[in-house]
Structure 1
Amino acid sequence: MGAGQVEREHTEAIVLKGVDFSETSRIVTLITPDRGKMACMAKGVKRPKSPMAGVLDTFNRIDLVYTWKDTRQVQTLIEANVANGYAGIKGDLDKSSYGAFLLELALVVVHDNEPSEDFYIELIQALNQLDDWTGEVAVFGAWATLRLLSAAGFAPMLSTCSTCDKAIEANPGFAFESGIVCGACSADQRITVGEYKTLKALADYPARCPRIRNGRSIFGLLATYATSQLESPFRSVRVIRQLERESLG
């Protein structure tokens, strides 16, 4: 396709966020398998009788048709339909909070106009499972975070000490620049042997989240690791921590 040429394309996407552009239009940020992160103008979507009303809500998995032009940063949405609205996530405060972290992670690690099929597939699988999840949501959040970090090339080292490569025995720790460390190496945070075993168990199940418990500390560890690795604050983490404080209070 030549520079400046407009081409009509069809794909699927997850809606990561949306902002109002005018009284009738919104700009939505999507993650797609073939073009990575992409911004689209949805003209007239805020009109009461718009056929796309509710279609572009955050979390929705959609089928869409749009026009692509290399020289513009915001593409034009032509039509869209909901493939999965993830009602199970949207209707549960804990699920939607941890799910929001996964979407924020996608916003940070996925690049504009760069194929991201592997990451997209991992995100779809995570949202599909979270939608039906009946176990501890923090455990699922930790598992999904590991999967997405791995897909993006930011997985922490967990098999042996990330500093000296020795086996992990007593007094394990975690370094936010690399991953697990042994008792002899410097750590940003010491963790229990049980927490290390939980981390390993989550990493050893790539297809489905294992039904284990006590995931809050593990999710917190991985969220701090992601913040350090990506040099990005995550608003959803603050929301999750606030919900945790309220549940304990």
Structure 2
Amino acid sequence: MDRNKTEGIVIRQVDFSETSRVVTFFTRDYGRISVLAKGARRLKSAFEAAIDLLTRCQIVFLHKSTSSLDILTEAKLVNRFRAESHQVNAYYAGLYVAELLQSLSEEFDPYPRWYDAAVVTLSRLQSDADFRQAVIRFELVTLAELGLLPEFEQCQCGRPVEENSERWSLWIQQGVLLCSQCRHHEASARPLTGEVLSTLRRLSHSDMADETIPPIPDIQLRIIRPLLTALISNIIDRRPKMLAYLKF
């Protein structure tokens, strides 16, 4: 068995026996992994609170070459996700981050930039920042890392987007931008203005840790929110469950 050390975020837990749990981490070096945490359900567990949902920790696990579960041997808490009692949306947004990491990742397929974006997002959600913008920025990084982020610069025919140009639409199933002349019936019914597309480009190209990004105007949020929901729902063939609890 190989002994591996990495940093990860707890994105799922399932009881395995009276004393143990199967814990799913999204790790920086190995991507999504599921490990058996023996004794994790005991009152005096060796892992204590290090493997609570959404915690970030340093872990050591034994990787088995067979189909049986890997074994978690160490878990040291780095920080815990704490949303204040009045920040209900921040808590649900954290669970939404975990849902995306779980639903859109493959086992042992690392995405360091995606992991770093999740760390930044969970940290930002615990501050007084607008959770809506934090979620949107994470969704854009998610789509970019999966190679599924639409090009917001030009139509599929090559016509460039201008700030004050006509309205555009997005063909959700194909993930391509369409001008009025190329629009398909399958395209998003919500028109995209040059200003909205400029905002999407700015957010897509920005460093996730950049705190100087100006807030997204509410009028643009009302267009961007359903657009990203449609893009992500198209990828996982369902609407993400946690979106039902978020009040955008």
| Smaller-chain TM-score bracket | 0.7 to 0.9
Aligned-pair CA distance for 1:25: 1.2
Aligned-pair CA distance for 1:129: 2.9
Specify the code of the residue in structure 2 equivalent to 1:85. R
Aligned-pair CA distance for 1:192: 4.4
Would the aligned equivalents of 2:7 and 2:29 in 1 still touch at CA under 8 Å? Answer: no
1:165-244 equivalence runs, <5 A: 165-168=158-161, 169-176=165-172, 177-184=174-181, 185-186=183-184, 187-193=187-193, 194-207=195-208, 208=210, 210-212=213-215, 213-214=217-218, 215-240=221-246, 243-244=247-248
* Root mean square deviation, CA, Å: 2.2
Q: 1:71 aligns with which of 52, 62, 66?
A: 66
Specify the code of the residue in structure 1 equivalent to 2:214. R
Would the aligned equivalents of 1:122 and 1:151 in 2 still touch at CA under 8 Å? Answer: no
Q: What is the TM-score when the length of structure 1 is the normalising length? A: 0.84
How far apart, in 1, do the equivalents of 2:158 and 2:60 lie? 49
Would the aligned equivalents of 1:138 and 1:216 in 2 still touch at CA under 8 Å? Answer: no
- Identity fraction in percent: 24
1:104-119 equivalence runs, <5 A: 104-119=99-114
Aligned-pair CA distance for 1:203: 2.1
Give the 3-state SS of the residue equivalent to 1:87 in structure 2: coil
The aligned counterpart of 1:137 is 131
Gaps in structure 1 of 5+ consecutive residues: 1-5, 245-249
The answer to which structure has the higher helix fraction is 1
The aligned counterpart of 2:152 is 158
Would the aligned equivalents of 1:38 and 1:74 in 2 still touch at CA under 8 Å? Answer: no
Aligned-pair CA distance for 1:68: 1.0
Aligned-pair CA distance for 1:103: 1.7
> 1:186-207: per-residue Cα shift (whole Å, max 9, x none)?
2222224243343233224233
Gaps in structure 2 of 5+ consecutive residues: none
The aligned counterpart of 1:247 is none
Specify the code of the residue in structure 1 equivalent to 2:170. F
How far apart, in 2, do the equivalents of 1:60 and 1:174 lie? 36
Aligned-pair CA distance for 1:106: 1.3
Moved over 6 A (4+): none
How far apart, in 1, do the equivalents of 2:70 and 2:84 lie? 28
Aligned-pair CA distance for 1:90: 8.2
> Closer, same or farther in 2 for the Cα pair 1:90/1:175, shift >3 Å?
farther
> How many residues are paired up?
235
